[in-house]
Amino acid sequence: NATSLKDAATTFSVGMITRDSYINAGGKHTETLKAEFNNLTSEYQMKMEVMYPSEGNYDFSAGDVIVDFAQANDMDVHGHALIWHNATPSWVENFAGTDAEFETMVEDYITTTLEHYKGKVRSWDVVNEALEDGSGHPLRNSVFRQKMGDDYVKKCFQFARNADPDVILFYNDYNMASSPTKREAMFNLVDGLGDLIDGVGAQMHISYNGPSAANIQAVADGTVSRNLKLHFAELDIRANPEEDPNVSSLSTTRANAQKDKFKEVVQIYNAIPLDNKFALTTWGVRDNESWLLDFWGVPDWPLMFDENYNKKPAYTGFLEGL
């Protein structure tokens, strides 16, 4: 009888996010990480705006706290994320220089970061959320696309591959299950990367009542058929997708529906072939720390632990999915 998520999940890593401040504070946060998880992701401190705040000046201090903690406790680290339009420092948004200089700057950034973390960070999201949600799902017109062209994603993967041939490289995006057209666009993008890419990160920001198991399965099937690794990343399951502003607690009915969805996600992940497995990562320990509270601005309880670090039915659902 397994006593933790990581012991129960014998064929893949169980991931969690953290912050340097949570690690420095210790207590129940770090106890929970050590007890339950074996793969760590930085919630926002290994993004470009934190790691590369001004030209020529890198800051890996917060990421290093996370990486050191992981190493001391036998956990892998998943690097998230080198390039993301939402975490680009303003000096990069307003880059003063030619397009060629911009591209050299991006190559230096990726190379410096991967070399700093060589042997310590096992995998990286190279590009996060490159695709638009709208019709046809074209590439977002980010500063990277504007200055490096439509093949900027491929260039970034090549820079990463050159910097560290051993690190596992992912493309990460959201709505892979809920939007079949975005899923198709994502697989087209991935196909264009050839063997520069090792895996697909499917952000699992979902709800207790959707997307369907069939649509989640389609993400797994598309990834497996391409012989890529699959990361079910950023899992959280909204219990209040109706966005009722007045709901004051998680009802038993909703807690159980959420449990069933956790179980379903884990079941689908657990059933993929071993070679395609990587990790299933949940985006937050306690309900009250979830980014979704700010993002949607309504009450919710999307995670596996309540605000007192008690295991919720969702936690049991994860175990039952194995």
Residues making contact with ligand XIL (CB under 6 A): 43-44, 128, 203, 234, 291
- Which residue, 49 or 108, has its beta carbon nearer to ligand XIL? 49
Q: What angle do CA 228, 230, 233 make, to 5 degrees?
A: 150
Residue with the CB atom nearest ligand XIL in the bound state? 291
- Which residue, 103 or 236, has its beta carbon nearer to ligand XIL? 236
Instruction: Tell me how far, at minimum, the Cβ of 254 lies from ligand XIL, in Å.
Output: 22
Instruction: Tell me how far, at minimum, the Cβ of 33 lies from ligand XIL, in Å.
Output: 16
Asked whether the beta carbons of 179 and 205 are under 8 A apart, the reply is: no
- Which residue, 32 or 203, has its beta carbon nearer to ligand XIL? 203
Task: Tell me whether residue 31 is one of the annotated catalytic residues.
Answer: no
- Which residue, 266 or 303, has its beta carbon nearer to ligand XIL? 303
SS (H, E, C) 176-238: CCCCHHHHHHHHHHHHCCHHHCCEEEEEEEEECCECCHHHHHHHHHHHHHCCCEEEEEEEEEE
Among candidate residues 52, 65, 78, the one with its CA nearest the CA of residue 26: 65
Instruction: Tell me how far, at minimum, the Cβ of 89 lies from ligand XIL, in Å.
Output: 14
3-state helix, strand, coil in the chain (%, to 5): 45, 20, 35
Annotated active-site residue in 36, 103, 129, 264: 129
Joined tokens for residue 37: 């998880």
Instruction: Tell me how far, at minimum, the Cβ of 112 lies from ligand XIL, in Å.
Output: 21
Joined tokens for residue 199: 């895996």
Task: Tell me whether residue 234 is one of the annotated catalytic residues.
Answer: yes
Annotated active-site residue in 234, 242, 243, 289: 234
The catalytic site residues sit at 129, 234
